[in-house]
Structure 1
């Protein structure tokens, strides 16, 4: 028996003849947190709307726990909890009143509504806010209420669209912690344009740009792409780039400021020890050698602005 919870198959959405989303495919399993990443206008929210059944795809299909979203929309939607970018809150209600309504709308059995409300409040840190009007809550607590309504019926899949936008740093930290906790029991899709958020919260990453997937892989794959095959080296007496190119495995050498050099080495080679030995032999005064990590932002730019075909790795 498979624990596959979401199957998106060649999702495409046209607006006025333009492809806002083009042939996007991916799978999600139970207990997995998928980061759906891309610049503003890349097609993230459109994809989220198709996954939740709020927007019909022009082509392709969505299955939730094996149930086709087009053929059996009620059954498929019952397995989803959704927090859109614009929170669906009735701010004139108290937290208890609103969550009770949400439970009824999600068809939680009457005898279980009170327990479902209490469980959602506890998981989202809202127990002490039960009788407060939603309009009087801070932005962060309103976001917690939005997440509470998304999980109140204990869905198999929780979809969160830009859940930390507009929050302060403390609120962002708390919401990220909450998302990680939810991900232990549910499958979570987190749509965001914030790179560090994906690295902190998700175990799988997809990057979309101009409606197309440009990266599909585990968070460890993204981290390895950051590290790459470069070294940042500090010398007291920096050698000429030509001297470093004599070392086996070194393919490029670049002189930087303050006697620093950047070295690129060939795949499947480790010239680190040879560089150290050459530095000692030639009196270069080596005082630093470390991987030269590419920033998350640079990786993002490389992926989203390349003209090449989509970079894709198989889903585990």
Structure 2
């Protein structure tokens, strides 16, 4: 669906993005991550044919985004970080207007609007002026205008921005429901939502792509090949550390009432060895879990540490 090679964009002498290269297959949901100013929005705007690149190539659904922008725009739905809404219009009226702009035949407009409202939970506000909608509903209208013409590719820039916890869960379910029928590229600062909804991750830092792959693959690469083991042991801290030191690097996560919680940087298959080490030292093993590095931790390590690539 998307093939990017050597993508670069300069603003004057400043390179917002440099030499980006990645592929996105049909039907995937991809999370696009980076700190503020990393180049996410610039990249998404180029993919959405809003900006021209300085150099490089973008091919979407077989069409070059520079030489055939009209064909590309027909195949994408774009939600920028600020939804492009007309406050004076009612929800259904606005979506019908967008559908016509997108080239939907007149005889199909009503059905397409109903379909988009159904997917985004907007049926009950079809005749409500956009100006009177809550922030959460405005975000939904933004998603609806992006998919009303049934695009092959959806580009969503911060779709969960400013939503309350209930609305975030609803947006998560909405994005999940789009998988398969659409290819989705979503940028968000709410990393838990990326973790719950996306198949793979692209991580950008200072305008350069520093990692791409599944969350699990990136965690394994950064963790040395297999995550970690979390352990709760009743006993003296020094004895616990001595018992587990031979298994792998150990970090104390907490200590209270004679119970020490630790992280052992070792693959999950070494759990029996961890258990044997604890019991063999005469200590009481209370809990032994296979750990998985949270996306928040991965993100900070990728954007602040050395570069890494996973497939």
Alignment TM-score, normalising by the size of structure 1: 0.88
Given that residues 229 and 266 in structure 2 are in contact (C-alpha distance below 8 angstroms), is that contact kept between their aligned partners in structure 1? no
Note the residue ranges of structure 2 that are not aligned, 5 or more in a row: none
Task: Give, in whole Å, the separation in 1 of the partners of 2:302 and 2:160.
Answer: 23
2:231 equivalent in structure 1: 232
State the partner residue of 1:131: 127
The CA distance in 1 between the partners of 2:243 and 2:132, in whole Å, is 67
SS of the equivalent of 1:71 reads: coil
By how many angstroms is 1:264 displaced? 3.7
CA displacement at 1:262 relative to structure 2: 3.4
Question: After superposition, where does 1:12-51 map in structure 2 within 5 Å?
Answer: 12-51=8-47
**Residue of structure 2 equivalent to 1:199:** 195
**Equivalence for 2:159:** 163
Structure 1, residues 234-268: CA drift from partner, whole Å, max 9, x if none? 133451634434x4xx233455634426364566x
Q: Decide whether aligned partners of structure 1 residues 263 and 211 sit closer, same or farther in structure 2, where only a CA change above 3 A counts.
A: same
Determine the C-alpha separation between the residues in 2 that align with 1:263 and 1:164.
32
SS in 2 for 1:40: coil
Bigger mean CA deviation after superposition, 283-292 or 188-197 = 283-292
Equivalent in 3, 6, 11 of residue 10 of structure 1 = 6
- Number of equivalences: 304
Whether 1:313 aligns to 2:302 is no
Counterpart-to-counterpart distance in 2, 1:58 and 1:121: 38
**In the alignment, what sits opposite 1:257?**
255
Question: What are the Cα deviations for residues 150-174 of structure 1, in whole angstroms up to 9, with x where unaligned?
Answer: 1111111010110111111111111
Q: What is the CA distance between 1:96 and its match in structure 2?
A: 1.8
C-alpha distance 120-276 of structure 1, shift in aligned 2 (>3 A): closer
Go from structure 1 to structure 2 and tell me whether the alpha carbon gap of 1:69 and 1:80 turns closer, same or farther (over 3 Å shift). same
Q: Name the CA shift for 1:254/1:16 in 2 (closer, same or farther; >3 Å).
A: same
How far apart in 2 are the matches of 1:263 and 1:95?
51
Q: Is the 8 A contact 2:20 2:209 kept in 1?
A: yes
**Runs of 5+ consecutive residues of structure 1 not aligned to the other structure:** none
Q: Distance in 2 between matches of 1:242 and 1:74?
A: 66
Deviation digits for residues 125-172 of structure 1, max 9, x if unmatched?
A: 111211111111111111111111111111110101101111111111
Indicate the RMSD between aligned Cα atoms, in angstroms.
2.2
